[in-house]
Amino acid sequence: MSQGNLQIIDCPPKHLEDYHQFTPEIVDEVQTLANHFRGLKVAHVNATALGGGVAEILRCLVPLQNDAGLQSSWYVIPPDDAFFEVTKQIHNFLQGKEGALTPEQRQIYIEYNRFLGALLSKIDTDVLIIHDPQPAAALTFLTGAKPKLALWRCHIDTSTPNRSVWDFLLPFLKNFDHYVFTMAEYTNSAFPQDKISLITPHIDPLSPKNIPMNKEEAKNYLTRFGINPSQPLITQISRFDPWKDPKGVIDAYRLAKKEFPDLQLAMVAQMATDDPEGVRIYEEVKSYAKSEAGIFLFTNLPDNDLAVNAFQTASDIILQKSIREGFGLTVTEAMWKGAVVVGGSVGGIKLQIQDGVNGFLVNSPSEAAARVILLLKNPQLKSQLSQAARRQVLDNFLMPHKFLQYLQLFSKLNLSLLLPQPPNLPLPFRVLPP
Amino acid sequence: MSQGNLQIIDCPPKHLEDYHQFTPEIVDEVQTLANHFRGLKVAHVNATALGGGVAEILRCLVPLQNDAGLQSSWYVIPPDDAFFEVTKQIHNFLQGKEGALTPEQRQIYIEYNRFLGALLSKIDTDVLIIHDPQPAAALTFLTGAKPKLALWRCHIDTSTPNRSVWDFLLPFLKNFDHYVFTMAEYTNSAFPQDKISLITPHIDPLSPKNIPMNKEEAKNYLTRFGINPSQPLITQISRFDPWKDPKGVIDAYRLAKKEFPDLQLAMVAQMATDDPEGVRIYEEVKSYAKSEAGIFLFTNLPDNDLAVNAFQTASDIILQKSIREGFGLTVTEAMWKGAVVVGGSVGGIKLQIQDGVNGFLVNSPSEAAARVILLLKNPQLKSQLSQAARRQVLDNFLMPHKFLQYLQLFSKLNLSLLLPQPPNLPLPFRVLPP
């Protein structure tokens, strides 16, 4: 039934030394610890090479792992429409959607993963990291020897899944040696605590979206979109999706505008043109905005990464008024640029923003408006929060941290003992707390 | 009148060693030669940090020069609407437009460049490379010592400029020590031959637009845009602009379709939404295409660089049916991916395509159609041309070649003699033929 082959993804090279300027201690620690895993073969497997946070992360992490001496590869599973239709359903079910998979859908999932298991069996690897539910059952169908470590990296919330779908998946998931989730709230009690590690998403400070941009240049760049650089600007960057509360953003803007009449609002979205739901909500938001002067709605800006960088750099305040949120990488990106973020008090936004310390957490449009007004009135407060915001990302959410966390996990699992010990290293190597 | 400051542009680091895999000899030569220029201060000055071929090139060349030990920087002039309005006119005049600058426009150009001269005087540099006409007069207004080498890098055709505008600019241009043009046809007889060097644009094989993409993954990516991966596909990537002959492209497609009824045509453009001319021509082309099945028109695709990469990788044939063309970097990008390009026999396309050897040069839609049909009928011929196309770029048009050409120019001008000689180098250093 299924056909095609694994696609190995070539990434432009990255060099750890280039990250030294940002987090010297972390990079040094990565380099020291990576020496214990020189030659360790790591294979990442996921469902897509393009688009989405996972692909963005692997595009940086895999070349960095190679730069540090690991043998890291990234494989994308061959596309299959029927299979992807089923896994889209599974995704929704895991987030709590009611209903059940049909016997035919289960069959499609199993057969594709059986086929995938045969493909994965040809990979010679020490560590197999399978991302998300799509290829997760393939581990069960490996035909040869199992890797030394099989790890499920789950990026979605599995805490309250649809029961019947979870019961279907769990036997496959149980075969993994270890599990990595974004945060504690996303884990499922079916997995023993000692087999779970938490690693958040991270951003690449050297990607076009995050490379430092001069604030004046950024403001100038936005003039092409009609933004007036001499008037204050607040921006929300996110899909048009009810969970991002786009109407609440407009409400907050209108409240703040009463005090700052020349305030501008930009709402910037990447939108799949084949996503009818997204287009419908965009139209709703557009009609809600009533062509009001000062409100700018953008979809699919040219040079998206640079445009997002410019909006995050040039805005006085970034909103992320989500009602529900995974991690919220746009919050990380904005804080990294020293933007003060006023974010919904949900999900991963709470991991990033400490209310009143490096941004603000809010629960309603009026709260959001109050924080916007407070910040516009107090440039010094804004400047303090801005510095703390950048510090927060510098200390926790740059790609070298992620690399280090994986190395620490490998250490904890005693993986380096499985390799021939390099002769020139001080032994016993550092034992990290679990 | 004018205000603002030079903006220094920070680029993500690039490493020469990463290019060794493509052109080992060239990289080795760059490294050897660069040793003679260790510490040489090079300042590039241009008008924009974002968008356009020059910015794309500097974003790679400047970090590579730094990686090799030069001290290279990139400065962008402060934006000024009135000035940019004038330089847009100058650009058109240089390409032959009739008319003249008003006294006021001349005044704006001179005053802004006088202001810029003062800004540039603060830069401590050995080599000053000014790109294109906008900041070209600033050299005349430097208040301090002149750099050891002042170089005008002109990317546009100055062979038959508007006489009165040229007479206005020439005294400023004459102050440069040396001139770099894209090709001989673009030079102006006002400059002595021995002061002219030719350096074409080049592509970065490690940018997201040019990183190798698996052909199957690329085909799969295009399905999201409605392209059927099992039917043949021809693509033209360029603005909607009469000089790119978009209607001729559709004519060629319709002729070829008579022999290959399932042939698909994609026309992919980045389009500034504030460019009324572009929007008008797009509408014309759309109406010319008459919603015909198999014709796909795209403007501002999400993830543009990846999308362009996917189209260039997945297409059976790339068209670039220009009637007039600068260099044609999209041709270089496509040939680098092993696409067979059927291109108009004009401008820089002729520098890249050798007719029948690594692509085809054509002069009409019917010729283009004949070549498309020939290629679709002869997979072996297509495969031969494809290999030769990639070879052409590998041998001539990758960024390390450009770096080497600049170094050779610095050598020719005996620039390294102006630096303290590094003690550990064999002397006399290599003398390169002029």
What is the distance in angstroms between the Cα of B163 and the nearest Cα belonging to chain A?
Answer: 32
| pLDDT of amino acid A432 | 36
Task: Report the C-alpha gap between B265 and B304 in whole angstroms.
Answer: 18
pLDDT, tens digit, 9 for 90 and up, residues A344-372: 999 999 999 999 999 999 999 999 999 99
Query: What letter represents residue B86's amino acid?
Result: V
Q: Which of A10, A79, A217 sits opposite B220 (nearest CB)?
A: A79
Q: What is the mean pLDDT of residues A200-208?
A: 93
- The confidence band for A403, taking pLDDT boundaries of 50, 70 and 90, is very high
- Domain residue spans in chain B? 7-202+398-418, 215-396
In chain B, whose CA is at the least distance from the CA of A206? B12
Contact list in B for residue A216 (CB cut-off 8 A) is 4-5, 7, 78
| pLDDT reported for residue B107 | 97
Residue of A nearest to B51 (CA): A303
Contact check, Cβ <8 Å, B12/A4 = no
Q: Is A272 on the interface with B (CB under 8 A)?
A: yes
Show which of residues 204-223 on chain B sit within 8 Å of chain A, judged by CB atoms.
Answer: 206-208, 211-212, 214, 216-217, 220-221, 223
When the pLDDT of each residue in chain A is averaged and rounded to a whole number, the result is: 91
CA dist A404 and A401 (Å) reads 5
Among A179, A177, A120, residue whose Cα is nearest residue A144: A120
Predicted pLDDT at A427 = 37
Q: How many CB pairs under 8 A join A and B?
A: 80
- A44 secondary structure, DSSP code: E
* Interface test with chain A among B5, B18, B50, by most A beta carbons within 10 Å: B50
Cβ contact, residue pair B302, A303, below 8 Å: no
Spatial strand order of the sheet with B340-344 comes to B295-299, B264-269, B233-237, B317-320, B340-344, B360-362
Q: Where are the alpha helices (DSSP H) in B325-421?
A: 329-336, 349-352, 365-377, 379-396, 399-412
Instruction: Say what the pLDDT of residue A78 is.
Output: 86
Nearest to A7 among B49, B216, B303 (CB): B216
Confidence (pLDDT) at A67: 97
The answer as to CATH 3.40.50.620 being correct for domain B7-202+398-418 is: no
Q: Could you tell me the two tokens for B263?
A: 């042939």
Sequence length of chain B is 434
Contact list, B10 vs chain A (CB under 8 Å)? 211-212
pLDDT exceeds cutoff 90 at A86: yes
pLDDT 10s digits, A94-147: 988 899 999 999 999 999 999 999 999 999 999 999 999 999 999 999 998 889
Kindly state the percentage of chain A with pLDDT values over 70.
94
For helices B246-257 and B276-289, the axis angle rounded to 10 degrees is 20
- Residue A70 has a CB neighbour count (10 Å cut-off) of 23
* Complex prediction ipTM: 0.70
Decide: B161 and B154 in contact? Cβ < 8 Å: no
Which pTM does this prediction carry?
Answer: 0.81
Residue A201 has pLDDT above 70, yes or no: yes
pLDDT at A49 over 60: yes
Q: Which CATH architecture has domain B215-396?
A: 3-Layer(aba) Sandwich (3.40)
Q: Is it the case that residue B275 has pLDDT exceeding 90?
A: no
Could you write out the DSSP letters of every residue in B142-209? --SPPPSEEEEEE-S--SS--HHHHHHHHHHHTT-SEEEESSGGG--TTS-GGGEEE----B-TTSTT
Report the pLDDT averaged over residues A68-81: 92
| B53 part of contact set with chain A, CB < 8 Å | no
Mean pLDDT of A396-404: 97
Q: Average of pLDDT values for B8-28?
A: 93
Instruction: Tokens for A339, please give them.
Output: 């933007």
8 Å CB contact between A329 and A53: yes
The residue among A28, A338, A406 whose CA lies nearest residue A200 is A406
**The pLDDT of residue B424:** 45
What is the reported pLDDT for A217? Answer: 81
CA-based nearest residue to B302, from A174, A342, A239: A239
Chain A residue with CA closest to B310: the answer is A50
* Token representation of residue A229: 């650089």
Within 10 angstroms of residue B146's Cβ, the number of other Cβ atoms is: 12
Q: How near does any CA of chain A get to the CA of B404, in Å?
A: 21
Q: How far apart are CA A252 and CA B255, in angstroms?
A: 57
Find how far residue B82's CA is from the centre of its chain: 26
Beta carbons within 8 Å of B60's beta carbon, 6+ residues apart: B11, B14, B204, B207, B399
Q: What is the DSSP string of A304-352?
A: HHHHHHHHHHH-SEEEE--SS-SS-HHHHHHHHTTPEEEEESSTTHHHH
Kindly indicate the confidence band of residue A424, based on its pLDDT and cuts at 50, 70 and 90.
very low
Confidence of residue B136 (pLDDT cuts 50, 70, 90): very high
Of A4, A216, A303, the CB nearest to B7: A216
Tell me which residue in B18, B206, B217 faces A49 most closely, judged by beta carbons: B217
Q: Can you tell me whether residue B319 is helix, strand or coil? A: strand
> Which residues of chain A have a CB within 8 Å of the CB of B63?
none
For residue B182, pLDDT beyond 70: yes
pLDDT-based confidence at A2, cuts 50/70/90?
low
Q: Distance (Å, rounded) from C-alpha A222 to C-alpha A216?
A: 10
Under 8 Å between Cβ of B14 and B197: no
- Based on the number of CB atoms within 10 Å of its own CB, is A254 exposed (0-12), middle (13-18) or buried (19 or more)? middle
| From A12, A15, A221, residue closest to B211, measured CB to CB | A12
Query: What pLDDT digit, counting tens, does each position of B93-116 carry?
Result: 998 889 999 999 999 999 999 999
pLDDT digits (tens, 9 = 90+) for B382-421: 999 999 999 999 999 999 999 999 999 999 998 865 555 5
Of B18, B223, B302, the CB nearest to A270: B302
Q: What is the pLDDT of residues A276-334, one digit of tens each?
A: 788 899 999 999 999 999 999 998 787 778 889 999 999 999 999 999 888 999 999 99
Q: Is residue B184 less than 8 Å (CB to CB) from chain A?
A: no
Q: How confident is the model at residue B144 (pLDDT cuts 50, 70, 90)?
A: confident
Residue A208 above 90 pLDDT? no
> For residue B5, which residues of chain A lie inside 8 Å, CB to CB?
216
Confidence of residue B67 (pLDDT cuts 50, 70, 90): very high
Tell me the two tokens of residue A248.
Answer: 């609440």
Percentage of chain B exceeding pLDDT 70? 94
